[in-house]
Structure 1
């Protein structure tokens, strides 16, 4: 999916900080969607080679459905369709769009999967991003808007603007993590950690009833430092998703521009929130909300998270200081997830 958010900005590092016997915890890894994936699991007698083949087949299927970088994908065929007639994308695709649009509404359009033309205008999909001219930005703004993407029925979408284009990378990677988790469950594996491009889901525990531990990186450009540790004692699935501004940006005339765009203005966000980590039982929802809350920033994001019951961790930098804030009530309900 070539998700620049995932490739370059922020990594949640699956940290197996307390070692387990190598014969008990099995691992394999690979490449997908322009990034890497890592899977750790615990179940005696599993053929990890056959399991990896199943995982790779599912990731290839999702790539063909959701990736913007390949013209034969379903999403790019929809983007190339410049008519207002219903276009069949399949039930799976429609459900992802429905979830994304729900998040768009709650952020007043700051988060918007129809913003693909804006990313192209700012050239964030290249190695040489650049600030666009104001008139070009104004014209591009006329081509976006989640309200212009209509869900016709369970399998069809319709464009209200012929030039509308979408990019659901901000939700698709979380969905991919969920789908791989489902494959592991189908193989009766109930203790695992699945990570794709830094986005992850855990279930169960490590051998010896030891909890999964996940390290969250301190948001420093060009550096990798530990900021927080999550100790996950919950048996059911837990998704940990993070978005950040500090890995993919560019400087022009003394001004820094993040690749996190506010669709309402067409411009990079200007607040001081540099990353958002989100804990949720639905990896797809967690992925979308981590981007959306970063878009609106900590002040508005905390209010939204508390209102709808989302456990979110905001990291803000101001005058050289790094501040951490958490949504209140949702975190207090997570007694089986410890943040240190």
Structure 2
């Protein structure tokens, strides 16, 4: 449903290793999961067994992949999608909680953000990266099975469909949730200084061994090259999530027209406004992930008002005839201990 683009920017210097105010060495682990790359950057005053730590991270990512991934038929969510029934199905408390969180964003975004968009995603051919703009009749038929209110939660661990053909796509919220799970894993073993990043979605806590803060780069939303648009200096010890959704990396050109991967559930079509990326900063990585997609679906003109009402710290970047234009919410401008340059 969406892909994100955020650069991690942090400068290593010799003082990270000797002669610092605090002892410790930055360690970086990486790998592949959920169809993308992941990086975990950590340090601690006590020596870290990064081999064992990486094993724990990989195990947790594999568990989440089995639970949430739409690209594998044996995942819990895809098994739910395959069931043609309106009876409640046990999917576990984590998925129930994710859907309840997403529902609150769907309500706030007036239905533009919707997890039941999976049939539309398949209809357009995005699942196989082969775009086929559908006929209006086909789209109308599929839209009859779309609507987040057609998905019912039966806490603590069951969900059900109002119609048998309802199917769920968790890609707009799963990476944010996964980032939060890995962050919790680190904290549970006593690591309090880290950057966790999956596919560009990230969460930070603490800072570097020399006492300086983590610096996070937001990518300039242009398809050619990779450049930094903004740098965030995060001067806080508590965890903070930074999530970006963009239209500029994943799109198709068909008969002279460009189609974004971001589908608007209210129309059944790719978004056609000029907002090319939205970055959301929030304490909750799951909600930051969902909101960044929702606001990108809406675009800057509609999205800013909704973000303001919800108190969301958001940066909208829109492509204009005169270049890129930025628009920020009040919560973004008043973020504490976060400097954006």
Relative to the length of structure 2, the TM-score reads 0.95
Contact 2:41–2:195 (CA under 8 A) maintained in structure 1: yes
Task: Report runs of 4+ in structure 1 exceeding 2 Å deviation.
Answer: 17-23
Q: 1:13 aligns with which of 7, 13, 20?
A: 7
Cα distance, 1:68 vs structure 2:
1.0
Q: Which residue is equivalent to 1:71?
A: 73
Does 304-313 or 235-244 show the bigger shift?
304-313
Q: Which residue is equivalent to 1:141?
A: 143
Write the deviation string for residues 74-101 of structure 1: whole angstroms up to 9, x where unpaired.
1011001111111001111100000011
Q: Which residue is equivalent to 2:43?
A: 42
Cα distance, 1:320 vs structure 2:
4.2
Q: What SS class does the counterpart of residue 288 from structure 1 fall into? A: helix
Cα distance, 1:214 vs structure 2:
0.7
Matched, 1:217 2:219: yes
CA–CA distance in structure 2, aligned partners of residues 47 and 99 of structure 1: 35
Q: 2:91 aligns with which of 83, 89, 101?
A: 89
Q: Which residue is equivalent to 1:267?
A: 269
CA–CA distance in structure 2, aligned partners of residues 117 and 331 of structure 1: 34
Write the deviation string for residues 1-45 of structure 1: whole angstroms up to 9, x where unpaired.
xxx623xxx420111135363671111111111111101111131
Contact 2:145–2:165 (CA under 8 A) maintained in structure 1: yes
Q: 2:257 aligns with which of 231, 247, 255?
A: 255
How has the CA–CA distance of structure 1 residues 18 and 304 changed in structure 2, closer, same or farther, with 3 Å as cutoff? farther
Q: Which residue is equivalent to 2:20?
A: none
Matched, 1:112 2:85: no
CA–CA distance in structure 2, aligned partners of residues 25 and 199 of structure 1: 20
Where does structure 1 lack aligned partners over 5 or more consecutive residues?
Answer: none
Q: Which residue is equivalent to 1:59?
A: 61
CA–CA distance in structure 2, aligned partners of residues 78 and 49 of structure 1: 35
Write the deviation string for residues 263-291 of structure 1: whole angstroms up to 9, x where unpaired.
11100111110000010000000000000
Where does structure 2 lack aligned partners over 5 or more consecutive residues?
Answer: 18-23
Write the mapping of 1:140-179 to structure 2, written as runs, cut at 5 A: 140-179=142-181
CA–CA distance in structure 1, aligned partners of residues 138 and 322 of structure 2: 35
Cα distance, 1:108 vs structure 2:
1.1
CA–CA distance in structure 2, aligned partners of residues 11 and 244 of structure 1: 7
- Size of the aligned set, in residue pairs, is 333
Contact 2:315–2:332 (CA under 8 A) maintained in structure 1: no
Write the deviation string for residues 157-194 of structure 1: whole angstroms up to 9, x where unpaired.
11001000001111010000000000100110000000
Q: Which residue is equivalent to 1:303?
A: 305
CA–CA distance in structure 2, aligned partners of residues 335 and 149 of structure 1: 37
CA–CA distance in structure 2, aligned partners of residues 278 and 249 of structure 1: 22
Cα distance, 1:226 vs structure 2:
1.3
Cα distance, 1:331 vs structure 2:
2.2
Does 248-257 or 266-275 show the bigger shift?
248-257
Q: Which residue is equivalent to 1:339?
A: 340
Q: Which residue is equivalent to 1:278?
A: 280
Cα distance, 1:225 vs structure 2:
1.1
Q: 2:184 aligns with which of 182, 185, 200?
A: 182
Does 235-244 or 24-33 show the bigger shift?
24-33
Contact 2:206–2:237 (CA under 8 A) maintained in structure 1: yes
Relative to the length of structure 1, the TM-score reads 0.95
